[in-house]
Each structure stands twice: as structure tokens, then as C-alpha cells.
Structure 1
Amino acid sequence: MTEKEFLSLIQSDKDMMSLLKIIADLGLKDSWLAAGSVRNYTWNVLSGRPGFDYEPDLDVVFYDPDVSYDDTLALEANLQKAYPWELKNQVFMHVHNPDTAGYESARDAISKYPETATAVALRLIDDELELYAPYGLDVISRFEIHPTPYFKASSKSMVLYHERLAKKDWAKKWPQIKVFQD
């Protein structure tokens, strides 16, 4: 799937565009719909299912060093009054990955997610759709799970990668998934 085809798919989906508009209207710096939200949506559509199903995985990420951890939690709690979404300030998320320095932007954080298929994000900027997929869309459209180069470079990170594979068990929902240990 090319970037143009992917963006066309997103633009033609009223629910996805509404979701991206809500996120844009939050006014958070460097904010994106990311990770499982975009990956699962794509796998669902490619599998002939509705984009959003009974297990929405809506991950809203942003990067703002001026928003404290406690303020981020308050923002998330307020957001969850209307939407069951996760809201994570990527300024603080590096602590969840072994031996990881602080991130410099949301894109930096996304590029260091565990799997290449998870390292993907969308946003609206001035009503224009923007995609960030540092490892491309091919692995997503082929239903492949690979560790990102960042995770492959660390044995501690690869332990986390394998734990996530076992926990997520994506093949149960999408049997065409191919998992790579490399």
C-alpha cells in the first residue's frame, strides 16, 4: 500500500477523519493518533472488517515538555470523560523502554516503539492529513511484525518485544499475521 493509497483510505473514512479532527482540536503540541490505533484500523480494513471494532485501541500521543506528568494524567482523565482513549505525553514515555534516553519529539518516540507495524501515526494539521511511518507501510499491509531497529539493538529491549508478542497475541484476531524474531 502506498502512502497516497493509505491517506486516501483514511480520508474516505468519516469516523477516522472525525477522530483526527477531535485530536487536532485538543490543541496539544505535536499530537498524533498513533500505534495500535492506526495499525489495528489498517489490519481491520485489509481483513474486510470495519476499521473500528469492538476492541478500539485509541492511542493519542503528544510531546510537550511544558506539560507535567501530573498535568498529563489530568488531561487524560478529562479526555476520558468523553472518550475512552489513552493520552500519553511522550516526554515521559522513555522510562518504559530499557536504557532509553528522553525523547526529543513525538516522532522520535514513535520511531522507537517496539514493532515496525506499531511505529505509525496520523494527524491533521490545518485540515491536511499527515502520516508518519518511519518504517513504511509495507510491513503493516503485509501483516508483518518486526522489531524496530531501536529494539533490535538491545537485548533488554528484545525481551520486552517478546513479552509484548506473547501478551498481544495479534494472530488470534488476524491469523494472517507473520511474526519475525529478527
Structure 2
Amino acid sequence: MDIRELFSQDDDLMTIFRIIEQLDLKDSWLAAGTLRNYIWNVLSGKPGLSDTSDLDVVFYDPEVTYEETLALQNQLQLRYPNYQWEVKNQVLMHIHSPHTKPYQSATDAISKYPERCTAIAARLKDEHLEVFLPYGAADIFDFVVQPTPHFLADSERMEVYHKRQQKKNWQKKWPRLQIMDERIRM
């Protein structure tokens, strides 16, 4: 299955990509759980975007404040209320990952997300769909959840990873999932 083709065949997803492109934010992507969940839903015979799907919009711009980011998120929610927008400037997001230096770009941040299957992003640029998959798509297609090398390298980050798995309880929604920890390396 080709991810670009899968995404480009979905009118809602393409509308979202166009909205994000029109925001003209630096280094912006639709990312993380939005796209991972979309693929898992499609592979499970469910609608790609569900009513509970957050739209994880990430960007990287040191000139944009937290307050401006929040205002943008609120504007998107008002303008497009049928979607649940979550807009995050990756400039300061490293603080949510113990012992992590500031990110250098949105893709740097995405590559350091807790799970390899969550490290996914896509964007529309000049009607061309770009996909960023630093660890490939195998984990997503195989329903495997395992930590990224960044999280494996630090015990406190691994605590965050384990707490996140308990909180998310993804296996309830996608029973095929295999949750891996630091003792299992593929």
C-alpha cells in the first residue's frame, strides 16, 4: 500500500492538507496520531478520519509565540469546527521529552516522538504530497508500537513511553497492535 496514494484518495484529508498549506506556517506538517490512526483505521476497515481524530498540525518557527499558536488553533477551530485542531510549534516541544535538546526543525521533532509508528508526517506543497517517515512505514502497517531510538536512549524518556502506552490504551481500539518495550528490539 502506498501512503501517498492512500492519503490523496481521501477528500477530507486532502482538504485538511490544503488548509494547512494555506496557513503558510514555516516547516508545517499534518503529523503523528492523525496519520498513524488514519492508516490503522483504514487497515481495520473503519473510516480513516473518525469523529475523535485530533488534527495534529506541527510547525517550526522561533518567531511565533505560544500565545500566537494558541490563537491560530482557536481560529482554525472556529473556521473549521468539524475538525479537532491541535496546533503545536515544535520550537519548545522538547520540554515534554526528558533530557532533550531543543529541536532544530519540525522533522527533527517528529523523528524524536515516543513511538516509531507515531513518527509520521505529510504535507501538501504546490499540489505535491510529501510524506516524512524517518523509520519507514513497516511498524504502522504491521500494527507495531515500539520506542524510537531517541526514547530508547534514556530511562526517563522510556518512563514517559510506558506511561503513554498505558494512558492511550490503543489496543482497545486496534486489537491487532503489538506493544513493544525496550527489552524487545526488532
Whether these two folds match at TM > 0.5 is yes
Q: Are the counterparts in 2 of residues 40 and 57 from structure 1 also a CA contact under 8 Å?
A: no
Tell me the CA shift for residue 130 of structure 1.
0.2
Q: Are the counterparts in 2 of residues 91 and 104 from structure 1 also a CA contact under 8 Å?
A: yes
Moved over 4 A (4+): none
Counterparts of 2:3 and 2:127 in 1: how far apart (Å)? Answer: 17
Q: Map of 1:7-46 to 2, 5 A cutoff?
A: 7-46=4-43
Deviation readout 1:61-92 (Å, 9 max, x if unpaired): 00001111222122222222134200000001
Counterparts of 1:138 and 1:104 in 2: how far apart (Å)? Answer: 26
1:55 to 38, 42, 52: 52
Query: Kindly, what percent of the aligned residue pairs are identical?
Result: 55
Q: Does the residue aligned with 1:64 lie in a helix, a strand or coil?
A: coil
Q: Does the residue aligned with 2:73 lie in a helix, a strand or coil?
A: helix
Counterparts of 2:51 and 2:68 in 1: how far apart (Å)? Answer: 30
Q: Map of 1:75-90 to 2, 5 A cutoff?
A: 75-83=72-80, 84-90=84-90
Gaps of 5+ in 1: none
Q: Does 1:99 align with 2:99?
A: yes
Paired position in structure 2 for 1:134: 134
Once the two structures are overlaid, the 10-residue window that deviates more, 72-81 or 47-56, is 72-81
Alpha carbon RMSD of aligned pairs, Å? 0.9
Counterparts of 2:91 and 2:19 in 1: how far apart (Å)? Answer: 22
Gaps of 5+ in 2: none
Q: Does the residue aligned with 2:87 lie in a helix, a strand or coil?
A: strand
Tell me the CA shift for residue 57 of structure 1.
2.1
Counterparts of 1:75 and 1:49 in 2: how far apart (Å)? Answer: 30
Q: Does the residue aligned with 2:118 lie in a helix, a strand or coil?
A: coil
